[in-house]
Chain A
Amino acid sequence: MVQGHNELIAEKIEAHRGMAGGLLPLLHAVQDAIGYIPEESYLAIAEGMNLSVAEVHGVVGFYHHFRTHAPGRHILQVCRAESCQAMGCSELETYVKARLGVDYHGTSADHAVTLEPVYCLGNCALSPAVMFDEQVLGRVDKATIDELLNTLEAA
Chain B
Amino acid sequence: MSVRVYVPCDSGALSMGAERVAKAICAEAERRGLVIELVRNGSRGLYWLETLVEVGTADGRVAYGPVKVADVASLFDADFLNGGAHALHLGVTDDLPWLKNQERLTFARVGITDPVSLDDYLAHDGYRGLRNALAMTPDAIVQQVTDSGLRGRGGAAFPTGIKWKTVAGCVADQKYIVCNADEGDSGTYSDRMIMEDDPYVLIEGMTIAAIAVGATQGYIYLRSEYPHALVSLNTAIERAQAAGYLGEHILGSAHTFHLEVRRAAGAYVCGEETSLLESLEGKRGLVRFKPPLPAIEGLFGKPTVVNNVISLATVPIVLDKGAEYYRDYGMGRSRGTLPIQLAGNIKQPGLVEKAFGVTLRELLYDYGGGSASGRPIRAVQVGGPLGAYLPESQFDTPLDYEKFSEIWAVLGHGGIVAFDDTVDMAKMARYAFEFCAVESCGKCTPCRIGSTRGVEVMDNIMQGKQVSKNIALVRDLSDTLLNGSLCALGGMTPYPVLSALNHFPEDFSKASAIASETALADPA
Contacts and interface: CB of A to CB of B under 8 A. Distances in A.
Partners in one complex: yes
Interface of A: 20-25, 27-28, 49, 55, 58-59, 62-66, 77, 81-87, 118-127, 129, 131, 134-139
18 contacts: A21-B262, A21-B280, A25-B262, A25-B263, A49-B282, A64-B266, A83-B343, A86-B417, A86-B418, A87-B344, A118-B266, A120-B187, A124-B186, A124-B188, A124-B417, A126-B16, A131-B225, A136-B228
A120 B262 contact: no
B188 A22 contact: no
Nearest to B231: A134
Nearest to B43: A125
Nearest to B380: A86
Contact of A122 (B11, B262, B266): B11
Contact of A82 (B187, B420, B439): B187
A125 B367 CA distance: 13
B449 interface: no
Contacts of B343: 83, 86, 124-125, 127
Given A82-B344, A83-B186, A126 B282 contact: no
Given A24-B262, A136-B15, A121 B225 contact: yes
Contact of A124 (B187, B419, B423): B187
Contacts of B285: 62-63
A62 B267 contact: yes
A21 B261 CA distance: 13
Nearest to A84: B186
Contacts of B170: none
Interface string B178-199: 0000011111110110000000
B300 interface: yes
Given A24-B282, A59-B283, A123-B189, A82 B267 contact: no
B106 interface: no
A149 B260 CA distance: 37
Nearest to B279: A24
Which 6 residue pairs of A and B lie closest in terms of their CB atoms, listed nearest first? A81-B186, A23-B282, A63-B265, A138-B15, A124-B343, A125-B47
Question: Which of B188, B283, B415 has most chain A Cβ within 10 Å?
Answer: B283
B428 A125 contact: no
B189 A129 contact: no
B14 interface: yes
A65 B419 contact: no
A76 B183 CA distance: 21
B186 A65 contact: no
A124 B282 contact: no
A118 B268 CA distance: 10
A129 B50 CA distance: 14
Given A24-B262, A86-B418, A87-B344, 15 more contacts: A23-B283, A59-B282, A81-B187, A82-B417, A86-B344, A87-B345, A119-B439, A123-B11, A124-B189, A124-B341, A124-B417, A127-B343, A138-B50, A139-B15, A139-B16
Contact of B266 (A63, A87, A136): A63
Interface residues of B, number: 60
Contact of A136 (B14, B268, B283): B14
A21 to B, nearest CB: 4
B349 interface: yes
A120 B265 contact: no
B350 interface: yes
A137 B188 contact: no
Given A82-B431, A124-B343, A65 B265 contact: yes
Question: Which of B267, B343, B385, B439 has most chain A Cβ within 10 Å?
Answer: B343
Contacts of B283: 23, 55, 59
A63 B267 contact: yes
B227 interface: yes
A64 B267 contact: yes
Given A21-B262, A62-B285, A119-B435, A125 B12 contact: yes
Question: Which of B344, B351, B428 has most chain A Cβ within 10 Å?
Answer: B344
Interface string B227-258: 11000000000000000000000000000000
B11 A124 contact: no
Contacts of A55: 283
A122 B189 contact: yes
Contacts of B423: 86
Contacts of A137: 15
Contacts of A139: 15-16
Contacts of A121: 225
Contacts of B345: 86-87
Contacts of B385: 81-82, 119
B226 interface: yes
A81 B186 CA distance: 6
Contacts of A86: 343-345, 417-420, 423
B212 to A, nearest CB: 23
B124 interface: no
B281 interface: yes
Contacts of A85: 428, 431
A87 B284 CA distance: 33
A65 B417 CA distance: 25
A87 B375 CA distance: 12
B93 interface: no
A64 B184 CA distance: 13
B15 A126 contact: yes
Nearest to A32: B263
B477 interface: no
Interface string B280-295: 1111110000000000
B415 A124 contact: yes
B329 interface: no
A78 B12 CA distance: 15
B177 interface: no
Given A124-B186, A124-B188, A124-B343, A62 B282 contact: no
